[in-house]
Structure 1
Amino acid sequence: MPRPALYTFGVLKSPLADPAPLTREFYEHGEAVYRKISRHPGYLAHAEAADGDRGMLFEADWGAWGEFAVPAWYGKGRTVETTALAATLSLWTGLRPAFDAVYTGLHRAALNRRHDWFERTGHPSHVFWWVSDGVTPTWQDGVSRLEHLHDHGSAPHAFTFHHPFAPDGTPTGIKDVEEPA
């Protein structure tokens, strides 16, 4: 049964290595959100560097999730000292569990603070697509889907929470997508 993959991408106002209180606060919130979401019903997995160091995004070994990639429009640093981005790649049992995880609890509180931490880029911040059971999405998959979403809008190939598609490609609502048993 197909599973939704979710890629998120944001450009931070300051590099991850910046010792400023706002950057530390973002990191602390992020760690708590990751822990909470990893226990959320419907969560299957997320891309995690083999060495566990999220600060070394470009140099890390991401295993089956592939080489770390970012959208072409990201123009900030790529070193541990200059990287100013936050990206996630995750796999879910359905759209509704992902929606609930993102728009409730700790993640909802973090979303309310997003403009403190992230630049407004004019690009989408998340994209969904369906993958076959047993398939691990890659960072490059996420990037190409996000860029497709930006260029063409929501479609079965790349869509958002607000304009979702069912696995068969028909437009749907989050509540209308049949969840696996």
Structure 2
Amino acid sequence: MRNMTPPLRTERLLIQDWRVEDAEAAFAVYGSEEVSRWLTPLMRPVGDVGAMRSVLEAWVEAQPNLVPPAGRWAILRRDDATVIGGLSIRLLPPFEEDFELSWQLRPDAWGHGYASEAGREMARWAFSQGVEELFAVARPANTRAIATARRIGMEWVGETDKYYGLRLQAFRIRPSDL
């Protein structure tokens, strides 16, 4: 089983593989209407902790088969080991040429800079795996995601309907941007 070894660490955060035991904490993220309304069509809102456990089982099973830097990880606060969100890197549809960096935090963790701190560290790791650029996409009204992409160091590259069949703001980061 491939593991991101060692887990990534920042001053305040730990980024590690998801565990099925994280279902309740993950549900606080992916079951939240405030979070799920912005998720792509590929990720529907999770209805309850049991459904979240099933999602995590699928993520945990798929993780070893993904070619780095693709994957999904949990974000934990280092001081209390609480899961506060998730990160993923995946190939964007429809052509699966561009890697997307995405982040989701539970609402009570918003406003502390955790998403940008985790996103920068994940980008550094992805670049160490040979990726030359990462993209983030956000709906135009998702001002929090747009601000986070900019804080990560991502540059706005335009508006597109290329991904997910939605009108999205696209951001890009390259190694020299970090």
Same fold (TM > 0.5): no
* Structure (1/2) with the larger strand percentage: 2
Normalised TM-score (structure 1): 0.31
TM-score normalised over the length of structure 2: 0.31
Higher relative contact order (CA 8 A, sep 6+): 1
